[in-house]
Homo-oligomer: A and B are copies of this chain.
Amino acid sequence: MSDRLTIALDAMGGDAAPDIVVAGAERAREVYPDAGFLFFGRRAALEPLLAKRPTLAANAEIRHTDDVVSPDDRPSTAVRRGRKSSMGLALEAVRQGEAHAALSAGNTGALMAMAKVMLKTLPGIDRPALASFLPTYRGDSIMLDLGANVDCDSENLVQFAVMGAAFARTVLGLNTPSVGLLNIGEEELKGNDTIRRAAERLRRDDMAFDFAGFVEGDGIGQGQCDVVVTDGFTGNVALKTAEGTARLISRLLADAFRATLLAKLAYALAARSLGALKDHLDPNNHNGAVFLGLNGLVVKSHGGANAAGYAAAIGVAVDMARADLCRLIADDVARFKTKEGADTALQTQ
């Protein structure tokens, strides 16, 4: 691999592919001039889009394939038959070391399953996890796992904590991110055994993160910690409940501003201030879920992201690639286990 960062793009994944993929890549190039792109997808669709963007085209290559993973494909189907699809080939480019990261806005389940099979987990990691950004009052937090693992044991949660902290250092630029375990009470006696055991193990002061203990659902939006760790079932429900609540309030707000003539006038007056609120919550500004714990970097964009959102997801890929996040995670996990092992050895002497 050259010094230039190469990102492999599933050009056919997402609601408005390939247009948004190409437009997003062009935007990202403005911010990351050292990035180059491999576009996997239909040449006939991609060529005209690149022809209109000579600077991008000069740093891009089209790799043709007719195969596409559809939004309805089961993960198992994708694993069996999707290797030659635009998604599969983007992952293969990462596996071969031809690209530093792969990005897709397509079928999440298929992407996770194929990535896991093709890239394999890092040494020391039992299961990869899906991590994403969440808007909070203090700025963005990170939550994982968001659905890759329905059932998790305490070892999984500990590994998620270490991986999430490494990711936060890389993409949020924090030296010592705070990490909390999602629970149904802040007291140490609350929750189930799995969570309590994970908390016991994370309560050490020699790590590259601060363990903040338990965090409850209402602490997420307050930004009570930088990284929220939970199993994939709870994380997925929490993420979607937060999104659903935001959508509920947006609808009620829109109704309120349409209710009377005065309210309509008010909306016009407050449009700019309310725009800032909208920006704060806009998923495009928090785009780029990451599949952590694999031998290779894989980013998932919202299927409905616009060009700015897609560019933000490319930014996440670039940040992770620059920081060599896979090595960072493997090192951190190894260090955690070494320190824990040393403590155990001391205790049993």
| B273 with A270: CB separation less than 8 A | no
A341 at the interface (CB under 8 A from B): no
In the complex, what residues of B have CB within 8 A of residue A253's CB? 253, 277
A266 within 8 A of B: yes
- List residues of A (204-262) whose CB comes within 8 Å of B's CBs: 216-222, 230, 232-234, 236-249, 251-253, 255-257, 259-260, 262
Q: A234-B234, A240-B217 are in contact. Are A269 and B280 (CB under 8 A)?
A: no
- Does A44 lie at the interface of the complex (its beta carbon under 8 Å from any beta carbon of B)? no
Contact A260 B281 (CB under 8 A): no
How many positions in chain A have a CB within 8 Å of any CB in the partner chain? Answer: 60
On whether the beta carbons of B257 and A273 are closer than 8 Å, the reply is yes
Assess the A277–B262 pair: CB atoms within 8 A: no
Give the Cβ gap from A98 to chain B, nearest Cβ, in Å.
33
**A256 is contacted by which of B147, B260, B273 (Cβ under 8 Å)?**
B273
Enumerate chain B residues within 8 angstroms of A323, measured Cβ to Cβ.
none
CA distance A260 to B237 in the complex (A): 36
Q: Cβ of B240 and Cβ of A218 under 8 Å apart? A: yes
Is B277 within 8 A of A269, CB to CB?
no
User: B residues within 8 A CB of A255?
Assistant: 277
Chain B, residue nearest A252 (CB)? B277
Which residue on B lies nearest to A136, using beta carbons? B248
Task: Confirm or deny: A184 has a beta carbon within 8 angstroms of a beta carbon on chain B.
Answer: yes
Nearest B-chain residue to A265, judged by Cβ: B269
Query: Contacts A137-B251, A137-B252 known; A233 to B281 CB distance under 8 Å?
Result: no
CA distance A272 to B260 in the complex (A): 9
Residues 125-153 of A, flagged 1 when their CB comes within 8 A of B and 0 if not, give 00000000001110000000001001100
Which residues in B have their C-beta under 8 angstroms from that of A277? 249, 252-253, 255-256
Measured between beta carbons, the chain B residues less than 8 angstroms from A251 are 137
Distance in angstroms between the alpha carbons of A251 and B135 in the assembled complex? 13
The distance from the CB of A132 to the nearest CB of chain B, in whole angstroms, is 14
* Cβ–Cβ contact A137 & B263, under 8 A: no
10 nearest A-B residue pairs (beta carbon) = A217-B240, A218-B244, A266-B270, A221-B248, A217-B241, A266-B269, A221-B244, A266-B266, A245-B245, A184-B236
Interface residues of chain A, those whose CB is within 8 Å of chain B, are 74, 135-137, 147, 150-151, 182, 184, 189, 191-192, 216-222, 230, 232-234, 236-249, 251-253, 255-257, 259-260, 262-263, 265-270, 272-274, 276-277, 280-281
Given A150-B184, A253-B253, 10 more A-B residue pairs with CB atoms under 8 Å apart are A184-B232, A184-B237, A220-B245, A221-B244, A221-B245, A252-B277, A256-B277, A262-B269, A262-B270, A265-B269
